[in-house]
């Protein structure tokens, strides 16, 4: 199969990039040589893959300059690069299409947000589907029709984690004594992911029951682990004094720590999608989130939702006991 370079503008949120992984793998399997372009955390999140990732510049001028350089590199490798669709905008935003178009690329993407004139290939948005299925269909727009119709999204994401990241997570678990297995073969810690950026329909996406749940779990002798992101450490220490706070953890090592845990409890946040993608047992606690579109993807998930309200602490604790056998 002939390899065709393709520049892919990644999404801006960790959870979205995780949900796009099957689509990216689909493109690679179809013969595309992916050159990814995204946020500063993207290379670390995707360290288990062999895709080159360029960190997106801060200004539009920087972004266009970077993309032109990648375009030249791809054109040097593939004489037909400039005669076909050679870029894919994964986000729906106007700006993601604009920067690719200004760099002289032939862009494919969803015809949304007033950006149709910048797209060389307009792909219709899937209606009423999960976001992973939307990314899957977006990738399918570049693939032969017979192949596009034959394949369905995978049941699990199977996120790849670099060996070095797994070794770092194991070292952290050993240092804290969490690596000991119980009679069921489960490791001795539970990860909670209580943070979430932004609001949805003017409602906070953070489940308010996390502090009480963490207190209950710790009272039963179960180690609770919190891995705060930038700017979240002080809140983590004050709201969860009974938890072990692991600071400054790279995303790939965080994914490995989630994968090796007894289980994960998360609201609508990137680490929740990471946990599901790694196959970790996950209890997903959702409030205002549109479940059918944004729920974590995979078979190893217990979903608790009372939209637009929240499940109670008792309901979540009961699910933890049943699912994590603790």
Residue 311 belongs to domain with CATH number: 3.40.50.2000
Mean pLDDT over 276-294 rounds to 95
Q: Residue 2's pLDDT is what?
A: 64
Which stretch of 73-82, 111-120, 172-181 has the lowest confidence by average pLDDT?
A: 172-181
Residue 156 lies in a domain: no
Residue 251 lies in a domain: yes
Mean pLDDT over 257-266 rounds to 96
Q: Residue 202's pLDDT is what?
A: 80
- pLDDT over 70 (residue 11): yes
Residue 78 lies in a domain: yes
Q: Looking at the structure, tell me whether residues 146 and 23 fall in a common domain.
A: yes
Q: Looking at the structure, tell me whether residues 141 and 169 fall in a common domain.
A: no
Asked if residue 170 lies in contact with residue 163, where contact means CB atoms within 8 angstroms, the answer is no
pLDDT bin (cut points 50, 70, 90) of residue 1 is low
Residue 158 lies in a domain: no
- Structural domain span for residue 143: 4-150
Q: Looking at the structure, tell me whether residues 254 and 194 fall in a common domain.
A: yes
Is 231 exposed, middle or buried (CB count within 10 Å of its CB: 0-12, 13-18, 19+)? exposed
Instruction: Encode pLDDT of 185-194 as tens digits.
Output: 555 899 999 9
Q: Looking at the structure, tell me whether residues 295 and 249 fall in a common domain.
A: yes
Q: Residue 197's pLDDT is what?
A: 83
Which residues are within 8 A (CB) of 16 and not within 5 positions of it... i.e. 6 or more apart? Answer: 90, 91, 131
Q: What angle do CA 125, 126, 129 make, to 5 degrees?
A: 140
**Omega before 261 cis (within 30°)?**
no
Which residues are within 8 A (CB) of 127 and not within 5 positions of it... i.e. 6 or more apart? Answer: none
Asked if residue 288 lies in contact with residue 200, where contact means CB atoms within 8 angstroms, the answer is yes
Q: What angle do CA 290, 319, 289 make, to 5 degrees?
A: 10
Mean pLDDT over 191-206 rounds to 87
Q: Residue 180's pLDDT is what?
A: 63
For CA atoms 203, 263, 133, 140, give the dihedral sign: positive
Q: What percent of the chain has pLDDT over 70?
A: 94
- pLDDT over 60 (residue 184): no
Mean pLDDT over 22-47 rounds to 97
- pLDDT over 60 (residue 273): yes
Q: Residue 150's pLDDT is what?
A: 62
Instruction: Encode pLDDT of 57-115 as tens digits.
Output: 999 999 999 999 999 999 999 999 999 999 999 999 999 999 999 999 999 999 877 89
Q: Looking at the structure, tell me whether residues 203 and 238 fall in a common domain.
A: yes
Instruction: Encode pLDDT of 243-260 as tens digits.
Output: 999 999 999 999 999 999
Boundary (domain end) residue, out of 122, 150, 178: 150
Boundary (domain end) residue, out of 102, 121, 150: 150
Q: Of 120-124, 270-274, 288-292, which one has max mean pLDDT?
A: 270-274
Between CA 66 and CA 43 the distance in angstroms is 16
Boundary (domain end) residue, out of 95, 125, 150: 150
Specify the pairing of strand 199-200 against strand 203-204: antiparallel
pLDDT bin (cut points 50, 70, 90) of residue 280 is very high
Q: Looking at the structure, tell me whether residues 146 and 181 fall in a common domain.
A: no
């Amino acid at each position: 199969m002939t390899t065709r370079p393709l520049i892919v503008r990644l999404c801006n949120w960790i959870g979205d990039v995780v949900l796009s992984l099957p689509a990216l793998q689909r493109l690679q399997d179809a013969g595309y040589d992916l050159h990814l372009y995204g946020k500063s955390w993207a290379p670390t999140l995707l360290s288990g893959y062999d895709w080159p990732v360029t960190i997106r510049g801060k200004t539009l001028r920087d972004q266009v300059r970077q993309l032109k350089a990648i375009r030249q590199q791809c054109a040097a490798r593939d004489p037909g690069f400039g005669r076909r669709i050679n870029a894919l905008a994964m986000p729906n935003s106007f700006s993601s299409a604009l920067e690719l178009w200004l760099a002289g690329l032939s862009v494919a993407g969803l015809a949304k947000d007033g950006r149709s004139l910048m797209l060389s290939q307009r792909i219709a948005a899937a209606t009423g589907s999960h976001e992973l299925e939307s990314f899957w269909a977006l990738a399918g727009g570049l693939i032969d029709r017979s192949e596009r119709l034959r394949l369905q999204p995978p049941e699990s994401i199977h996120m790849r984690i670099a060996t070095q990241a797994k070794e770092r997570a194991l070292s952290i678990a050993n240092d804290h004594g969490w690596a000991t297995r119980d009679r069921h073969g489960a490791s001795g810690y539970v990860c909670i992911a209580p943070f979430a950026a932004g609001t949805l329909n003017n409602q906070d996406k953070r489940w308010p029951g996390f502090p009480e749940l963490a207190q209950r779990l710790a009272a039963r002798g179960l180690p609770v682990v919190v891995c705060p992101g930038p700017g979240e450490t002080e809140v983590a220490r004050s709201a969860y004094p009974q938890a072990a706070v692991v600071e400054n953890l790279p995303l790939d090592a965080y994914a490995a720590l989630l994968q090796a845990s007894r289980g994960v409890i998360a609201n609508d946040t990137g680490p929740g999608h990471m946990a599901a993608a790694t196959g970790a047992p996950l209890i997903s606690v959702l409030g205002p989130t549109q479940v059918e579109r944004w729920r974590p993807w995979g078979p190893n998930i217990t979903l608790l939702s009372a939209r637009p309200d929240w499940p109670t602490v008792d309901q979540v604790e009961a699910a933890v006991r049943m699912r994590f056998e603790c």
